[in-house]
Chains A and B, each alone.
Chain A
Amino acid sequence: MNSAALIIAEVVPLVTPETTFDVPANVVFAVQAVVMIFAAIRVVTTKNIVHAALWLVVVLGGVGLNYILLQAEFVAVTQFLVYLGAVIVLFLFGVMLTRAPLGVSDDLDNNQKKIGIGVGVALLAVLSYALIESFGRSELTFAAYEGVAGPNTNGRTQAVSDAIFGQYLIPFEMLSLLLLAALIGAIVLARRD
């Protein structure tokens, strides 16, 4: 055994770490990303306001799917409940209650298109920079939670709840206060007297 092989034997750990390149997850992510981008473009280009809201269902559902791929089950279910079950329903409800003609309507565009594109690109740049700076080199280990709580997925839900009601308790409570303030504000605005 020469010295080069010895050095390699010292550096490389005896047990090779299990590969984290999870093929099905990556395939699903690719398909879902393409569908989401297409749907997001359709949200702003479609000529019918209800269709725009329904394309938004595809985008927000895709976000939920993304959370599932990241093994954040609780967050995914929250995404479905809050965004699809409540926010989109309120969109559709409000649109249908006021004005929602069938077929094509041409007055959905306004003159803020260029500002909108600018803001969108700036947001993309800032978010991309922040994400690559903080997570650029870390890999998701798909085996991370295995064996935490047996056959079910309780462990992941418990991890989220421990984080919210432990480390992030104060921000969580502040957000509740903010939402409460918004709720009271809405009631004040809606009251006639």
Chain B
Amino acid sequence: MTQAVLHPILGLELAYWQETTIRVLLGLVALLLLTGGAVYLYLFKFVSFMQSRLGPMEAGPYGSMQLLAEVGKWLQKEDIFTEDSDKFIFGIAPAVVLASTFLMFVVIPAGPNAVVADLGTGIYFVLAMSSLSVIGILMAGWASANKYALMGALRAGGQLIAYELPLILAVVGVVISAGSLNLQDIVAAQSDGAIFGWTGIGNPYILTQIVGFTIFLIAVQAELTQTPFDMPIAESELVAGYQVEYTGIRFLVYFIAEFATAVAFAAVASTLFLGGWQLPGAWGISDGAMNAIGPIMISTKAVLLVGVVFWVRFSLPRFREDQLQKLAWKVLIPLALANIVVTGVMKVVF
């Protein structure tokens, strides 16, 4: 039998299922708040300022309620299924993509206890769950009964498979350095580390794993199908790729999944390379207080990294399909493999 344990944050006695429900709900709220915040901050305002315009200004102060207005608009729209489409698969494809995104958040820690599930497989679980979204995209493209949608889905499939490899291989360097797949252990290894004996800020892996960090960010850009890697939804070639037949709430689900995945990958990157929820140097703050400070730390780091993704997205033009594949297979994967070898040698030598 699972016994009631004293909840470390709330100080209440909670059964296992109650605690799990609270963790999942808090995780969902945090995910949607961060996603909405990132969309407003970057997709509405950041890009507007880059293009010398104001962006949305009408709904709420400085247009801050614009996202709610957009969601309301999408919810009202008719949910259209085309005549020839495979209705069931067309209908559940967005749910598969969204589920893949939500599952990524399960193991990302935001504090000593503020995590939905502290799994031993940690980062491996994140990468496995993120790879499931391709199934949803292929389902959507095929079931739409639209050749542009099918071409978009095939492009997405080829691209996501190609960039999953550098993504995983870039992470291996961090895993070797930390000696664990568990994200809490990786955070602890960074905050307990030392730079040539100096323990002031620990040893965030962006210093020793800068190659892995760069490869990870490039691969994330491609996994998110953001410009310059947005061939699957290239509007000038494929109208909107695999999303072309979607309207209303199902399109909204794709929209949420896209930006929630951006937040998830940014949170993973900040956990792996920037020290996660821990402050630079532990400062001797108690675990209870860190459960409140940690979420703020990791949210800040993650939102800044999402900013990098959008900065690149709005700065660079789209690659060609062959350039995309060449970059993954001929540059990123060999570089990531070399990084693993060097990291392994350094780990043994020091």
* Cα of A157 to Cα of B184 in the assembled complex, Å: 14
Query: B99 to chain A: closest CB distance in Å?
Result: 11
A85 touches B185 (CB 8 A): no
* Cα of A88 to Cα of B142 in the assembled complex, Å: 14
B182 touches A89 (CB 8 A): no
The chain B residue with its CB closest to the CB of A76 is: B121
- With a CB–CB cut-off of 8 A, which chain A residues contact B125? 77
- With a CB–CB cut-off of 8 A, which chain B residues contact A89? 131, 134-135, 138, 157, 160-161
**Chain B binding surface, main DSSP class:** helix
Given the known A-B contacts A77-B125, A152-B119, are A96 and B135 also in contact in the complex, defined by CB atoms under 8 Å? no
A73 touches B119 (CB 8 A): yes
B128 touches A158 (CB 8 A): no
B182 touches A152 (CB 8 A): yes
Query: A95 to chain B: closest CB distance in Å?
Result: 9
- With a CB–CB cut-off of 8 A, which chain B residues contact A157? 120-121, 181-182
Q: Is B312 an interface residue (CB 8 A)?
A: no
Q: Is A54 an interface residue (CB 8 A)?
A: yes
* Cα of A107 to Cα of B136 in the assembled complex, Å: 26
* Cα of A92 to Cα of B132 in the assembled complex, Å: 13
Complex interface bits, B99-129 against A, C-beta within 8 A gives 1, otherwise 0: 0000000000000000000111100110111
Q: Is A13 an interface residue (CB 8 A)?
A: no
Name the contact of A93 in the complex, choosing from B120, B129, B157, B182 (C-beta under 8 A). B157
B121 touches A73 (CB 8 A): yes
- With a CB–CB cut-off of 8 A, which chain A residues contact B139? 54, 92
What would 22 A/B residue contacts be, using CB atoms closer than 8 Å?
A51-B89, A73-B121, A81-B124, A84-B135, A85-B128, A85-B134, A85-B164, A89-B161, A92-B135, A96-B138, A100-B142, A102-B85, A102-B142, A102-B143, A151-B118, A152-B119, A153-B118, A153-B119, A153-B120, A153-B121, A154-B182, A155-B120
